[in-house]
Each structure stands twice: as structure tokens, then as C-alpha cells.
Structure 1
């Protein structure tokens, strides 16, 4: 008897890929989860530590980083599932517009913090 694998929407598609590819996909998922945790921790730390940065800009940068972390966690899940489905179906791996948005959000948070430090 074969055990049911979850999520079915991923594992019920196509054929089982080479385990090395699935494991690499899982490592990428975990890297995105670490990135999400780091972004959320940075956002919380910016507000928790008494920094001499203009408060509104500091708070905005903090929120941007926390939201980026939440987005990264979602990207991790949907990216893993999309890549796993594509490998199982023998299709090209999907791309994501979230990565450039994430880079822009982190850059914006850094810009706000830098500007906030200058005008404080």
C-alpha cells in the first residue's frame, strides 16, 4: 500500500523526477524560508533597537522588511510547488516576478533607513 503524499496537487502530477532534483528544490525552499525569517527579524529589530533614525521612515522600512519576509515565505511555498509540478510534468521550471519586487523592496527599505539617518 502506497502512502498518500501531501499536497496532492503537486505529487499527483506526472512522473516521479530524479530524487536529486526534488531534494535540490527542497533546499531552495528552505533557503527562501531562511531569507523570509531574516527579513522579518530585520524588520522587527529595526523597531526594537533604539536607532537614531527618523521614526516614520524607520517604521516604514520595518514594515517593508516584515512584509517582504511574509512574501518570501509565500514565494518559498508556491515556488517549491510550481517547480516540483513542472519537473514531474517534464516542463520548464516557472519563473517569478516576485524576485525583482523583493530586491526593490529591500533596496527601498535601505534607502529609507539611510535617508532617515541623514535627516535625524
Structure 2
């Protein structure tokens, strides 16, 4: 992804990978009438596409970010994608409890990217 800055490319790739992985893991919840083996096979197919985004995101991203920063970024992106997915695809409501939990996770991400705390 030479057209994107090296610090942005992994974020875009992780966003794409998380959209696919969220559908691989949770998309079948709307299709409970399908046999489990079929949704497992479909999920594997979707997960393969996810890996085609996630692996380059981490390989190229590690040139700019630490492994801990990449993992934190992935978790925050996963949370954002899942929140949107659960509301818009599954039709579930997010509650104040979800907001508080998400805020605590974002707080943790802040400290990962902040750098060393003074001792």
C-alpha cells in the first residue's frame, strides 16, 4: 500500500481485516436455520480473506509500530467494528455498561501509545 503513509496503511488493513473477521465469527447468527458445518466452512472462507489483510497489516505495521501497539490497535478497531456490526447488522442495542467498558479499553490503549510513564 505504497499510496498510504506507513503509519496509516496498517490501520486501514486492520480495519478491513476486522470487518471480515467480525462477519466470519458473528455473521452466521442471522442464519440459525443453516447447518453448523456449513456456517463453519463459510466462516473459514471469510477468515481466509481476513488473514490476507491482517498478515500484511502486522508485517508492514511492525516497521512503524511495536507488536504491543499493533495488538492494541487491532483490539480497539475490533471493538469499534463489532459495536457497529452489533447495532447495524444484528440490531442489538448498546447500553451505558457497554460505553463504560469500551471507555476503559480505550483508556488502556491510551497508555500503550503514550510511552513510558515517569518513574
TM-score under structure 1 normalisation? 0.38
Who wins on radius of gyration, i.e. which is larger? Answer: 1
